[in-house]
């Protein structure tokens, strides 16, 4: 049988408006500006991938990511799809720390291959697709805006609240208190994005305890390189501690396990690509680490790919795939979460199940 090859590949900037700035302790997104990577196979099937660029978190840039992926189009054209696993390793080395570029390339490869085989992406990771229920984020801002955001989440009937903290101790306490008043008995997750010191974190959690507020977890309270500090919080706090920025690779997660630095990790495709994310998930489960699937500011394309991974693998107790709810416009068609934050990828017939809408999205090739 004639081999299926990549007929052509392209990369271009993909922009979308947000409802409002998405603010965290490290910076903010005012618009979505990512890279769309597309391949077309000789059998006529397309595969799509997305690089979610978060400069204020990872240091990657839109321009650098675009140039890497444009360069990759040359290497991929004419490639047999049977070479995709080896090619992913080669591009991982070539891209270096530009992991969101790797995520886009692997996403497009897997989308094309699973569509060719007539199978949904989640089947590449497991035999059964569980239903996922995402939280929704209360971004950094005033107490009144936190209360307003929490009311929006409650009206959507989303069943868990994520609150960004780490900028102002006193105001953050008031913001969490305001959200707790609306969430009532529903779980609240805190995410400091490296904004606290160890002592600030412990004082923060103690103050919440005095107020009768028990967050389900706190994510990345201290600097990503401070595993000793993270371990101290894990030992001394009643609150479950998750690592995010500290868990940037499989080797990072192995160090977290050795140092007993956290009770769980947040896996994001943009930190490690799809294939390493899968390996991290398997390793974490074997070592009794809790699992969260998260995202950067991504369109429904990349977020759906993350949902396929989590649903296929199983074992993800916390779902943070809410970025589509912050977009002011639809830039994709196909699979999309429900208004109440439910992802049911069992409904997808082949591939990721998401395609970009036609229209101008920026420069590229």
Distance CA 241, CA 70 (A): 39
Three-class SS state of 354: strand
241-287 tens-digit pLDDT? 999 999 999 999 999 999 999 999 999 999 999 999 999 999 999 99
Average pLDDT over residues 337-353: 98
For the 6-119 domain, the top CATH level (class) is alpha beta
14-19 CB contacts, 8 Å cutoff, 24+ apart: 14/50, 14/299, 14/331, 14/356, 14/361, 14/362, 15/361, 15/362, 16/299, 16/327, 16/328, 16/329, 16/331, 17/327, 17/328, 17/329, 18/297, 18/326, 18/327, 18/328, 19/326, 19/327, 19/328
pLDDT of residue 30: 81
Residues 154-174: b if buried by 16+ CB within 10 A, e if exposed: beeebbbbbbbbbbeeeebbe
Distance CA 266, CA 247 (A): 7
Domain range summary for the chain, segments of one domain joined by +: 6-119, 123-356
Average pLDDT over residues 171-178: 98
Q: How confident is the model at residue 360 (pLDDT cuts 50, 70, 90)?
A: low
Q: How confident is the model at residue 359 (pLDDT cuts 50, 70, 90)?
A: low
Per the listing, tokens 């005012």 go with: 30
In contact, 326 and 18? CB cutoff 8 Å: yes
Q: How confident is the model at residue 23 (pLDDT cuts 50, 70, 90)?
A: confident
Nearest in space to 223 (alpha carbons), one of 365, 25, 13: 25
107-152 tens-digit pLDDT? 999 999 999 999 999 999 999 998 999 999 999 999 999 999 999 9
Q: Please check the confidence at residue 339 and state whether its pLDDT lies above 80.
A: yes
Q: Which residues pair with 18 in a beta bridge?
A: 327
Distance CA 102, CA 110 (A): 12
Which CATH number is 123-356's, of 1.20.1050.10, 3.30.465.10, 3.40.50.300, 3.20.20.120?
Answer: 3.20.20.120
Q: Please check the confidence at residue 94 and state whether its pLDDT lies above 60.
A: yes
Half-sphere exposure of 6 (CA within 13 A, CB side): 28
- Least confident span in 25-34, 55-64, 306-315: 25-34
pLDDT of residue 133: 98
């Amino acid at each position: 049988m004639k081999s299926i090859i990549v007929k052509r590949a392209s990369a271009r900037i993909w922009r979308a408006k947000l409802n409002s700035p998405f603010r965290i302790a490290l910076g903010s997104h005012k618009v979505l500006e990512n890279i769309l990577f597309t391949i077309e196979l000789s059998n006529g099937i397309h595969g799509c991938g997305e690089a979610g660029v978060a400069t204020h978190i990872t240091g990657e840039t839109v321009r650098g990511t675009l140039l890497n992926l444009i360069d990759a189009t040359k290497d991929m054209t004419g490639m047999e799809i049977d070479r995709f696993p080896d090619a992913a390793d080669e591009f991982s080395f070539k891209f270096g720390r530009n992991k969101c570029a790797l995520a886009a390339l692997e996403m497009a490869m897997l989308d094309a291959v699973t569509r060719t085989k007539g199978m949904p992406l989640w089947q590449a990771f497991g035999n059964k697709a569980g239903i996922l229920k995402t939280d929704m984020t209360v971004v950094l801002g005033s107490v009144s805006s936190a209360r307003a955001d929490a009311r929006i989440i409650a009206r959507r009937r989303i069943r868990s609240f994520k609150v960004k903290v780490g900028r102002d101790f006193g105001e953050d306490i008031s913001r969490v208190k305001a959200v707790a008043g609306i969430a009532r008995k529903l779980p609240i997750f805190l995410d400091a994005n490296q904004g606290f010191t160890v002592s600030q974190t412990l004082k923060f959690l103690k103050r919440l305890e005095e107020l009768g507020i028990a967050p389900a977890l706190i994510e990345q309270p201290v600097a990503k390189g401070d595993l000793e500090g993270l371990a101290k919080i894990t030992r001394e706090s009643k609150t479950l501690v998750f690592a995010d920025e500290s868990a940037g690779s499989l080797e990072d997660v192995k160090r977290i396990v050795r140092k007993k630095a956290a009770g769980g990790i947040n896996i994001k495709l943009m930190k490690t690509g799809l294939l390493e994310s899968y390996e991290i998930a398997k390793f974490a489960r074997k070592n009794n680490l809790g699992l969260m699937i998260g995202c950067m500011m991504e369109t429904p394309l990349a977020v759906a790919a993350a949902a396929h991974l989590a649903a296929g693998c199983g074992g993800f107790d916390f779902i943070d795939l809410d970025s589509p709810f912050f977009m002011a416009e639809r830039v994709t068609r196909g699979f999309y979460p429900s208004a109440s934050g439910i992802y049911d990828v069992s409904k997808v017939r082949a591939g990721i199940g998401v395609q970009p809408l036609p229209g101008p999205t920026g420069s590229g090739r």
